Structure 1
Amino acid sequence: MIPLPHHKLARHLAERFDRYFDTQVRSRFFKGLDFAGPEGDPGWFGPGSAVWYVHSHTPILSFGLACAAYLEGLDPSIYWMGVDHSRITARDADGRPTGEFDPEGAAVRFGHSLSFFIGTAYGSTETAERLARTVRAMHHTVKGTRPDGLAYDADDPDWLRWNYATVVWGLATAHERYHPRPLRGKALDRYYGEFVRVGHALGGTDLPATKAETLECLKAYLPRLAVAPGKAARTGPNLRDTPTTLLTGPFMDWAIRDTLPDWAARMVMHRPPNPVELRARRAALWLALNGAHALTGPLKEFRQAQARVAAGVTSAPSAPAYEPGTDPIRSRQEAEALA
């Protein structure tokens, strides 16, 4: 076989990735989302925003979502919400949770999460509103009781604040550490401040708006956090024999725990290696994430969003229209039908 020239090889790989993304992700989780129109619509953030900049790097965004999910799971209620309601937990023929991890269910959840954080970042205003309505509808159905008798409710303001803080921390920290030209200092705080809009769209209140406020918010939850059985079974040494995929396996587990705040790292007994090995590991992940982005480029959806506002915007970015308590009551089946 005659090797392809470098630029042709890069284009070939980019086209193969786009075909894969189209069949495995876009066709399943981006249905009905509009990035190309209406012309001039800035969406919730608009061109030049920190959110557009951070979320346009899809590999780092994906890694940041995995970091956020790990940190979020230190709340035992999250574990039991997953056992009772999430596709991530495998179930037997009668629908009862087995306690085992379901890779396909995790892939579905990741696909929906990716479409949400891409669509709300630089999709049209209606796309962002639609995605937020869908997630709120799902949250409204997630209510129950843990085995220790403590009730959980995905609409609880305290839970929404914790959930929001873990997400913005995971995304911002992955960006700050691995983006080739990361936002820092006040520029990164601009991202934290802008992203609050997404938290408000899901019903969150009293949300942190800077890196310092987010760290303070996260640590304030420490008395109620713990390492639940599912977390312990799927982290650190217990992953030695786990097959490695894009966002799983021992190395990725280490990389995710490497982004935790110090107090959270101690909870899961995470200890950094010696400085030389630490730098080498981070450099390897930096090369992998940025190499993937260099080969594939920004997603087609981001290019469509750029074209949508190329001639200018017709208005300032709009704030989410949601008023807490105004959503209709929907069953779980009805909520899932919105996706």
Structure 2
Amino acid sequence: MAIRKRSVTPPEDYGFFGPGSVAWKVWGYPTSLTVGFSRAVVVEELDPNLVASVDRTQDIYRRPKTRYDRTIHYFALVAFGDSRTTSKAADILVKVHSKAIGIEPYAGGRYDANDPDSQLWILVTGWHSVLKAYEMYGPGKLSDAEERQFWAECARAAELQTCDPADVPRSRAELHAYYERMRPQMSGSPIARKAMAHLMDVTQLGPVPLVLRPARWVVGRFFRAGVIATLPHWMRDMADLRQPRVVDVAVRPVLTVAFALTTFSKRLQLRVLALLSPSTVPVVAPVFLGVAPANPEVLTPAEARERYGYDRPAEAHLEWRAKQRAKVFGAGEEPSDAGLLESEPILGSLA
């Protein structure tokens, strides 16, 4: 179905970035919510604590399209959403993550999806992944000034998570140093390898008519090859992702041309996004189609928390999180799903 400008509801404001931001420039390119996003969720699984929570719920296997949809929705909200909706989503996500606690199956330690180190890994790998895809399959590298601004904006996004914005890398050199610090803590465990392979398979996002299945298979193969080509070899080795160099080289011009052609039509980009994440379309449509907000202002997360009455994520829902830990680690019971249910009106249905 065609998405027309006059049918798009104007957002309340520009959110946390707005026109002129490098975040909008990079996240708004068609590489970002496709290959870039897929790379982000794949790389995340190398964190043994995060993948333990993913494996425990089995949601990426039981309801892959829903999980994919809700995760893209949140990433897009941070980049493009209005300040009120995004602040609410960030707050409720702390409650959602309070359910993702337990015992890591290999080292035996406790994991908690709200842990600042895990949240920093999600943030940095997410923003780096969309930048990497933009560089490889989009217009190329940012200028030095733009790259500094990009990482400064990433630190602004960190205020929406439980991690400390001061820990966010601010340059390519700091990014490389961060990966070197994190590398010994990462693990290509059996559950990580299984999750990473699964998350690169776009065929699991839902059925298509029989006549379109060959085309989907071809697209899926290029998509997977494109994601792997962005990964450094140490990550590939951990994940047991083997791909000849000739494929790395061959896939780059194909995807670059495909994404470049897509940029000529914002409506086409929205149609592609609707296939991957229907609930995300209303978030990005105003930006893609040039629909001005009711109030053309850009807020900081701190300003938004003060305006709407939310706590800093690190300090949010502490009593609820303590109850969840008591249920899981004390009573040996399953954690409450209340946060997940509360998130449905904001991030999309769980069905």
TM-score higher than 0.5: yes
Per the alignment, residue 307 of structure 1 pairs with 291
Cα distance in 1 for partners of 2:173, 2:64 equals 31
Q: 1:274 to 1:229 in 2, by over 3 A?
A: closer
Residues 157-201 of structure 1, C-alpha deviation per residue, up to 9 Å, x if partnerless?
Answer: 221222222111111111121123653433133212202222221
Per the alignment, residue 127 of structure 2 pairs with 168
- Partners of 1:44 and 1:318 within 8 A in 2: yes
Does residue 37 (structure 1) correspond to residue 11 (structure 2)? The answer is: yes
Residues 240-261 of structure 1, C-alpha deviation per residue, up to 9 Å, x if partnerless?
Answer: 9x88858985443332121123
Whichever residue aligns with residue 134 of structure 1, its letter is I
For the aligned residue pairs, the C-alpha RMSD in angstroms reads 3.2
Does residue 66 (structure 1) correspond to residue 41 (structure 2)? The answer is: no
Q: 1:48 to 1:303 in 2, by over 3 A?
A: farther
Residues 5-38 of structure 1, C-alpha deviation per residue, up to 9 Å, x if partnerless?
Answer: xxxxxxxxxx55x59xxxxxxxxxxxxxx96133
Residues 254-295 of structure 1, C-alpha deviation per residue, up to 9 Å, x if partnerless?
Answer: 3212112343234335566456x5432111122333334434
**Structure 1 position 325, deviation (Å):** 1.3
Per the alignment, residue 138 of structure 2 pairs with 179
Provide the secondary structure at the position in 2 that maps to 1:117. helix
**Structure 1 position 116, deviation (Å):** 1.3
Does residue 223 (structure 1) correspond to residue 207 (structure 2)? The answer is: no
Per the alignment, residue 239 of structure 2 pairs with 268
- Partners of 2:10 and 2:292 within 8 A in 1: yes
Per the alignment, residue 274 of structure 2 pairs with none
Whichever residue aligns with residue 319 of structure 1, its letter is P
* Stretch moving more, 45-54 or 286-295: 286-295
Whichever residue aligns with residue 227 of structure 2, its letter is I
* Stretch moving more, 264-273 or 118-127: 264-273
Q: 1:46 to 1:153 in 2, by over 3 A?
A: same
Whichever residue aligns with residue 333 of structure 1, its letter is A
Cα distance in 1 for partners of 2:88, 2:196 equals 35
Cα distance in 1 for partners of 2:186, 2:258 equals 32
Per the alignment, residue 315 of structure 2 pairs with 325
Cα distance in 2 for partners of 1:86, 1:338 equals 19
Per the alignment, residue 47 of structure 1 pairs with 19
- Partners of 1:143 and 1:152 within 8 A in 2: yes
> Unpaired runs of 5+ in structure 2?
205-212, 271-281, 306-310, 322-335, 345-351
Whichever residue aligns with residue 202 of structure 1, its letter is Q
Cα distance in 2 for partners of 1:189, 1:271 equals 33
- Within-5 A mapping of 1:53-202: 53-88=25-60, 101-102=61-62, 105-148=63-106, 149-180=108-139, 183-202=142-161
Cα distance in 1 for partners of 2:41, 2:117 equals 17
Per the alignment, residue 210 of structure 1 pairs with 171
Cα distance in 1 for partners of 2:217, 2:50 equals 23
Cα distance in 2 for partners of 1:294, 1:86 equals 38
**Structure 1 position 120, deviation (Å):** 1.9
Residues 183-229 of structure 1, C-alpha deviation per residue, up to 9 Å, x if partnerless?
Answer: 34331332122022222211111222333322221221121222121
Whichever residue aligns with residue 187 of structure 2, its letter is A
Whichever residue aligns with residue 260 of structure 2, its letter is N
Q: How many residues align?
A: 288
Whichever residue aligns with residue 291 of structure 2, its letter is A
Per the alignment, residue 347 of structure 2 pairs with none
**Structure 1 position 146, deviation (Å):** 2.0
- Partners of 1:120 and 1:198 within 8 A in 2: yes
Residues 71-92 of structure 1, C-alpha deviation per residue, up to 9 Å, x if partnerless?
Answer: 111122222111213511xxxx
Whichever residue aligns with residue 315 of structure 2, its letter is G
Structure with the larger RCO, 1 or 2 (CA within 8 Å, 6+ apart): 2
Does residue 254 (structure 1) correspond to residue 244 (structure 2)? The answer is: no
- Partners of 1:66 and 1:247 within 8 A in 2: no
Residues 105-136 of structure 1, C-alpha deviation per residue, up to 9 Å, x if partnerless?
Answer: 22112111221122222221102112212322
Cα distance in 2 for partners of 1:198, 1:312 equals 21
Whichever residue aligns with residue 308 of structure 1, its letter is A
Q: 1:182 to 1:113 in 2, by over 3 A?
A: farther
